[in-house]
Amino acid sequence: MKGLMMHRPLKIADIITFAADTYPSSEIVSVRTEGDIHRTTYKETSARISKLAHGLRKLGIGEGDRVATLAWNGYRHFELYYAISGIGAVCHTINPRLSAEQMIYIVNHASDRLLFTDVTFLPIIERLRPHFPDDLRVVIMTDRAHMPETPLDGALCYEEVLEGEASDFDWPDFPEDQAAGLCYTSGTTGNPKGTLYSHRSTVLHALSQCVTIPKTLQEGKRILPVVPLFHVNAWGLPYGAPLSGASLIFPGGALDGKSLFDLMDREKVYSAWGVPTVWLGLMNEINQRGRLPEGFGDIVVGGSAASRSLIEAFEKMGVNVCHAWGMTEMSPLGTQCNLPPEMADLPFEKRVDRKQSQGRRVFGVDMKIVDDEGRRLPHDGKTSGHLYVRGNTITEGYFEDPEATNQVFDKEGWFCTGDVAAIDPAGFLLITDRSKDLIKSGGEWISSLDLENIVMSHPGVANCAVIAVPDAKWDERPLLIVVPREDAQPQKEDLLGMLAERLAKWQVPDDVVFVDQLPLTATGKVSKLTLRKQYAEGGEA
Amino acid sequence: MKGLMMHRPLKIADIITFAADTYPSSEIVSVRTEGDIHRTTYKETSARISKLAHGLRKLGIGEGDRVATLAWNGYRHFELYYAISGIGAVCHTINPRLSAEQMIYIVNHASDRLLFTDVTFLPIIERLRPHFPDDLRVVIMTDRAHMPETPLDGALCYEEVLEGEASDFDWPDFPEDQAAGLCYTSGTTGNPKGTLYSHRSTVLHALSQCVTIPKTLQEGKRILPVVPLFHVNAWGLPYGAPLSGASLIFPGGALDGKSLFDLMDREKVYSAWGVPTVWLGLMNEINQRGRLPEGFGDIVVGGSAASRSLIEAFEKMGVNVCHAWGMTEMSPLGTQCNLPPEMADLPFEKRVDRKQSQGRRVFGVDMKIVDDEGRRLPHDGKTSGHLYVRGNTITEGYFEDPEATNQVFDKEGWFCTGDVAAIDPAGFLLITDRSKDLIKSGGEWISSLDLENIVMSHPGVANCAVIAVPDAKWDERPLLIVVPREDAQPQKEDLLGMLAERLAKWQVPDDVVFVDQLPLTATGKVSKLTLRKQYAEGGEA
């Protein structure tokens, strides 16, 4: 029997309308490419989004059309998220750190009709333009006064697209599974693959996120997303923040420790979200100044696993660390590791132990761990297995890529995360490793993550990675690659000694390589693929 | 273009599974009809819900069947909410305060197949049984040891229904608009009308509720619903609390000030939810003991408007008052009046002014105010109009009652709340009156609510109501009916003088009637319908 309740499509535009009605004075503060700081409110932003939507319609954008963005975190990028999806088109965010080859592939694969770019990235567009679709038009995200010279034919000015348009828009209804956003992720092999978010998945993700992280996503709180709008929806913050009433502080392109500290200090940012590498820079700045930015109390760390030393350092300063895990294909939030109140009284070391796990699932994300034959494994905190997920916020297939799609779902239709993990009886997920990062030596698995966590606790180590290198006898052996801290000279013997104290002998790497920096992927994670290629010949670079 | 995200039906059972996985030790504490206090957790409760679901299936309950409950707030009632809806049947909660005539009507109108009752209400069932459907079976919500003697044929024992059943259940999928709950509301005219909630409406309501009231609906918080599970889903708490991880403290049938104080004190209840009349009793108890229950910091007041004196009294004691507004037909939450942080620094009187409004809408509830011709009125905080609502948590028609359905929707499909209200630029709703409670005197509207609010601030007044009485000259005139506080003797002249100070002369009632108590509706609100009938002859009882 059918219930008798209204059925309204879940729509992204309803979030900004709600924020404008309900939190009219909550702020969006942006470091602009123009060089200044821009301040606005959800109410004013809602009016500009309406103008932009009218402008997009005039530029011929219709339902289902893809509109690309190549931009830093700022209010105009935020406006694009809402105006594009609001009229039923698809907001395709492009990661500027992709290779030329990858960028050319995705712009053509997505058949983008418009491309909005920050001035910063204009040189990239100018260089690649000949390889993009002929009818693609470029809009430069600035005002007339700041429009740069460009050889691009018919490049438009963002503020002129809005000019003279009406400040309200009658947002159309469409089915809630209408496409709204598109984000490509570069895998280790093959071409980038696109996740095509819907209005339903996006609204449900925002609701679940706010319910799961209520102490941060809350009216009156100020949140700084270092995690970029150009990738994985900045972990959902452009939706979760206005839904909850939290203010957004956008850092633009200035992501070094000093710039972040100054911005956070001035704007009294409570919570900052980003990948571990960013926090190393901020931490240095905090140590140099001997104090925290004013009002700072919380970081959300994801993208790759947070090291024990990072968690310890922030927690010792009184900053709550929320370790989170997710994937582009999951909108992205899967789990978050704020501790339940009954764990608040644990000794410090035990709390840090807990916080090294990825935490508990958000509502709407079902998780299972299975063995190689797909049989379910117990959630006992000890048994590791392949992690699969299911839910409304998870991809059901890559955009126009049946081949890639075929590889990532099991018979029950669950998505294969590529992670190996255990789940404990209190619901905490502990990722042991990426399936492809595991090292198989003499028939036994070695977790590169475990080794890295131990090495990172050495005071002379700034960063490290453990990879598999081919070995004639053992098939694979672990190799430790270390970036020393400035002015520190950690010794090979010390590092291997640390590992030998805590691990079985066969798990300890045979060698250590010291480097100045580690290669990063376009999303700022350590590129183990690159490292494995570099060191494929048994430890020689 | 369709997005490429999984489409899983929103299901109520997923909430309790999530709570069991994620907040396994959050509690449900219940004052039982057996006379003791019962403690359990979401994890244990989830297992018992599975057993109950198996039991229901064995009793022949299938998809769409209506299963009725007549019970206090307690863990078994909570279990029924989930087990009944989990197998695709409909949980029909019955208000024990309904008249015999109304109860007979709704049990037959709903075609209930099973009726679960607390021992307390068994006499009602025994008396009315001959008027209920022949095949209706009764289950008494207790264990074998406490089963009472009853002449009812084939009455079952609740704990025996669960006995020996498996503690897990593979919850079936069905479309998310499947019916899940049924609640009848008794209007001022005609038969009670049923709102038929769906899985979708219920899950979305729970998500929106948690997002909107994040400081209360949060892991570690302990919430006491005085608002009954037998009506309007206890304002959504059986879903919102487990979704957020908050613990639930169920008071059973002991709702007097002393019992509530003792329970709240012992269980360190942070937030208590209920109608204004309940809080008057608690307030007396607090005043007598000269202290608050331990841990008490928040009340949510709804059902009818909270008086200024009630808000002031709690706020002065440091208890946050969240004034809320909703309707059975709205699942029920429409608005809530926690203040935004920027209003926290307002002077006390200004904050209380604000808190007398019904507050801001929850996400998913659209509101409009219109004039008599249906034209939209501005949200300027001054213009009042008929309040209409729209959204996924709002009824689209009464259960098998086309006649009642036809009267409550406008041409755009919005639901008519029957309230008259203004909305201000900060999003705050101020209900001026119920359309049918407004008094029209000499062609001018008089708000009974305004008058009642002023009179309630008199120290000698325990409760009051203002109604319209027929008048030959002015068509209608307001009549003030007052319940004095114990040992107080408020004077007619004083009360009318208070009103005359603040209102236009024609708005001041011509007379005051003193009574010992006001008649209440089945949901505990003052029955103005009864009062109007009593005083229809120009002020004479």
Question: What ranges make up the beta strands (E) of B327-391?
Answer: 333-337, 360-361, 366-370, 385-390
Q: Using a CB–CB cutoff of 8 Å, tell me whether A24 touches chain B.
A: yes
Q: Annotated catalytic, B185?
A: yes
- DSSP assigned state of A504: -
Instruction: Please give chain B's pLDDT, 541 residues, in tens.
Output: 999 999 999 999 999 999 999 999 999 999 999 899 999 999 999 999 999 999 999 999 999 999 999 999 999 999 999 999 999 999 999 999 888 988 999 999 999 999 999 999 999 999 999 999 999 999 999 999 999 999 999 999 999 999 999 999 999 999 999 999 999 986 555 688 999 999 999 999 999 999 999 999 999 999 999 999 998 999 999 999 999 999 999 999 989 999 999 999 999 999 999 988 889 889 999 999 999 999 999 999 998 788 899 999 999 999 999 999 999 999 999 999 999 998 988 999 999 999 999 999 999 999 999 998 899 999 999 999 999 999 999 999 999 999 999 989 999 999 999 898 999 999 999 998 777 677 877 767 687 888 898 899 899 999 999 998 988 878 789 999 999 998 899 999 999 999 988 887 888 999 999 999 998 877 777 888 788 888 876 444 3
d(CA B132, nearest CA chain A) in Å: 22
Q: How many CA atoms lie within 13 A of A101 on its CB side?
A: 4
Q: Using a CB–CB cutoff of 8 Å, tell me whether B397 touches chain A.
A: yes
Q: Annotated catalytic, A215?
A: no
Give the 3-state DSSP-derived string for A353-404, with helices as H, strands as E and coil as C: HHHHCCEEECCCCEEEEECCCCCECCCCCCCCEEEEEECCCCECCCCCCHHH
Reading the block at residue B458, the tokens are 């008199």
Predicted pLDDT at B541: 36
Q: What angle do CA A392, A206, A29 make, to 5 degrees?
A: 150
CA B349 – CA A74 distance, rounded (Å): 39
**The residue to which tokens 């992670």 are assigned:** A419
Q: What angle do CA A133, A134, A138 make, to 5 degrees?
A: 80
- DSSP assigned state of B380: S
CA B444 – CA A385 distance, rounded (Å): 73
CA A161 – CA A143 distance, rounded (Å): 10
- Cα–Cα nearest to B219, from B267, B293, B270: B270
- Cα–Cα nearest to A275, from A296, A301, A253, A249: A301
Q: Annotated catalytic, B440?
A: yes
3-state secondary structure (DSSP) of residue A336: strand
* Contacts with A361 from chain B: Cβ below 8 Å: 18, 21-22
Q: How many CA atoms lie within 13 A of A249 on its CB side?
A: 23
User: How far is it between the farthest Cα atoms of chain B?
Assistant: 72
Give the residue from chain B lying closest to A341, CA to CA: B220
Which helix (DSSP H) or strand (DSSP E) does residue B512 occupy? strand B512-514
Cβ-nearest to B218 among A15, A175, A214 = A214
3-state secondary structure (DSSP) of residue B331: coil
* Contacts with A220 from chain B: Cβ below 8 Å: 340-342
Phi and psi at residue A286, in whole multiples of 5°? -60, -45
Reading the block at residue B353, the tokens are 């002014």
B239-278 in b/e form (b: 16+ CB < 10 A) is: bbbbbbbbbbbbbbbebebebbbebbbebebbbbbbbbbb
Higher pLDDT, B10 or A522: B10
Q: Is the pLDDT of residue A238 over 50?
A: yes
- Cα–Cα nearest to A423, from A299, A337, A514: A337
Q: Is the dihedral of CA A502, A507, A510, A515 positive or negative?
A: negative
- Cα–Cα nearest to B319, from B292, B348, B354: B292
Q: Which is the catalytic residue, given B329, B355, B395, B414?
A: B329
* Contacts with A360 from chain B: Cβ below 8 Å: 21-22
Predicted pLDDT at B253: 93
CA B531 – CA B213 distance, rounded (Å): 35
Q: How many CA atoms lie within 13 A of B123 on its CB side?
A: 1
Least confident of A25-39, A356-370, A404-418, A502-516: A502-516
| AA letter at B233 | N
- Cα–Cα nearest to B391, from B326, B436, B338: B326
Is B210's CB within 8 Å of A214's CB?
A: yes
Is A23's CB within 8 Å of B198's CB?
A: no
Predicted pLDDT at B539: 41
Q: Using a CB–CB cutoff of 8 Å, tell me whether A200 touches chain B.
A: yes
Q: Using a CB–CB cutoff of 8 Å, tell me whether B271 touches chain A.
A: no
Q: Annotated catalytic, A533?
A: no
By the 10 Å C-beta count (0-12 exposed, 13-18 middle, 19+ buried), B188 is classed as: middle
Is B15's CB within 8 Å of A177's CB?
A: no
Q: What angle do CA B23, B26, B27 make, to 5 degrees?
A: 150
Give the residue from chain B lying closest to A175, CA to CA: B2
Reading the block at residue A205, the tokens are 């993700």
Q: Is the pLDDT of residue A539 over 50?
A: no
**The residue to which tokens 């909305």 are assigned:** B423
d(CA A69, nearest CA chain B) in Å: 19
CA A478 – CA B233 distance, rounded (Å): 57
d(CA B23, nearest CA chain A) in Å: 7
Strand partners, A70: A117
* Contacts with B243 from chain A: Cβ below 8 Å: 211, 363
Cβ-nearest to B341 among A201, A220, A399 = A220
pLDDT digits over A81-90, tens only? 999 999 999 9
Report chain B's C-alpha Rg in angstroms: 23
Predicted pLDDT at B189: 56
Predicted pLDDT at B277: 80
For residues B420 and B450, the answer to whether their CB atoms sit within 8 Å is: no
d(CA A363, nearest CA chain B) in Å: 7
CA B529 – CA B519 distance, rounded (Å): 9
Terminal CA-CA length for chain A: 67
| AA letter at B223 | I
Q: What angle do CA B54, B59, B65 make, to 5 degrees?
A: 95
Q: Is the dihedral of CA A412, A415, A417, A421 positive or negative?
A: negative
Q: Is the pLDDT of residue A240 over 50?
A: yes
Q: Which is the catalytic residue, given B163, B215, B316, B445?
A: B445
Reading the block at residue A404, the tokens are 């890639």
d(CA A124, nearest CA chain B) in Å: 29
Is A1's CB within 8 Å of B363's CB?
A: no
Q: Using a CB–CB cutoff of 8 Å, tell me whether B282 touches chain A.
A: no
By the 10 Å C-beta count (0-12 exposed, 13-18 middle, 19+ buried), A418 is classed as: middle
* Contacts with B395 from chain A: Cβ below 8 Å: 4-6
By the 10 Å C-beta count (0-12 exposed, 13-18 middle, 19+ buried), B172 is classed as: middle
